[in-house]
Chain A
């Protein structure tokens, strides 16, 4: 799940300055779960923008915004409302906003696209609206060695060889409320009888695997 939050309304308003007619785009997946780009939030945004003198030419919740085919199909269906607009405000993650811009452009519906949310992290839904980061998308999963708890993510410094000197009573030096990731790993490894894994020297990470932008094409889709 891509965790995201709405940008401050004033910032959104500022980005729409000089534009009067706006088309709103949301997303049925992460943005809906995070309550920024579902039907309810788009309606709310429509109301608030109208109050500020904007005209909303229409809105749509894409299913999902990050899929090229979906954007192109739905945009063709809603061509009239989109063409009327000065710009598009996307209430979905940065990936969604770019997918909207890119695919609209591909079908010659070249509009200015504004991001309405800040994309935060890849997270786990703890409950309802409580999300926490568990994976840093590091391209080299080490969970096997760390009792299923990610040191790259749970340790603030992303250390691979155990806790730093800032670990105290199970908490991290940056914030007494924050669990020390290595304390969690230590306790888990001990519990499952694999503490010896903590003694193994871990090599420095290969950051070339994180060179951006990353692409993956499955075998069957290679030309």
Chain B
């Protein structure tokens, strides 16, 4: 079932995420994708995540689609101007890639090429608008297209942002601009998600809870200190800390399953970000009966 159909039929939607390699060796990505096959409705492919130079999202989307997996093409505004972004949206369409997740993108200096020229010609809202315009048969300049693309447009939101109101204002703008579903930043505290969904559910657009697999107490602390709006409660950090290294994947699966169980009734889907631990994703889904 395609991602769009999952939402339309009211099914609880599942997506997982892979990151393209730095280099040309796709074996790890393909192994993970094989594991996800048949278990999720879509697989996100990140776009130079954290501003680190890697193979592009579009190529990997195409290759995993060939393996029978539905890709979600992540597009950021950091590296391409409106010409290149619109062109890549047409490229995606030509390759039969329908799901596009529109993001602003991390700032260049956070990555491994801090000297690069940041683009940000468009922002995520304007990128969504551009995609809708293309669907309607014209480009941002108002020029008519020969053949229109068709997209299922996603966007992101950060439930843990403080203050939350600016995030909600922007979320509503993304919907006005054309967003048909949302994937959230990682949430580890159900009360934060509840507070967010209380406001966000009024928009009547499906929201997929973002879950990043915890790998260690150190990683959790790092996220608390360095990733905006991500808050891993002390109790979870302690749980990871007490777990010997070899048991951590199991513990991580257990925590993810617990979090999903606690929050799944508040939202319309889950987006799993295993960060290389893709092989453990089926265990999470088994544990929650999805």
Contacts and interface: CB of A to CB of B under 8 A. Distances in A.
Nearest to A199: B169
A94 B107 CA distance: 28
Contacts, number: 89
B140 interface: yes
Interface stretch (B91-99, B115-123, B241-249, B267-275): B115-123
Contacts of B173: 161-162, 199, 201
Interface residues of A, number: 28
Contact of A165 (B129, B163, B228): B228
A156 interface: yes
B109 A174 contact: yes
A19 B178 CA distance: 63
Interface of A is mostly: loop
A83 interface: no
B229 A201 contact: no
Contact of A164 (B104, B118, B130): B104
B41 interface: no
Interface string B235-269: 00000000000000000000000000000000000
Contacts of A156: 107
B126 A204 contact: yes
Contacts of A167: 161, 166, 228-229
B185 interface: yes
Given A162-B173, A174-B107, A204-B82, A198 B166 contact: yes
Which bucket holds chain B's interface residue count?
35 or more
Contacts of A50: none
Given A163-B166, A165-B158, A201 B228 contact: no
Interface string A177-210: 0000011001000000001001101111101000
B167 interface: yes
A160 B126 contact: yes
A199 B173 CA distance: 6
Interface of B: 82, 103-104, 106-107, 109-110, 118, 120-126, 129-130, 140, 156-158, 161-163, 165-167, 169-170, 172-173, 176-177, 185, 228-229
Interface of A: 156-169, 173-174, 182-183, 186, 195, 198-199, 201-205, 207
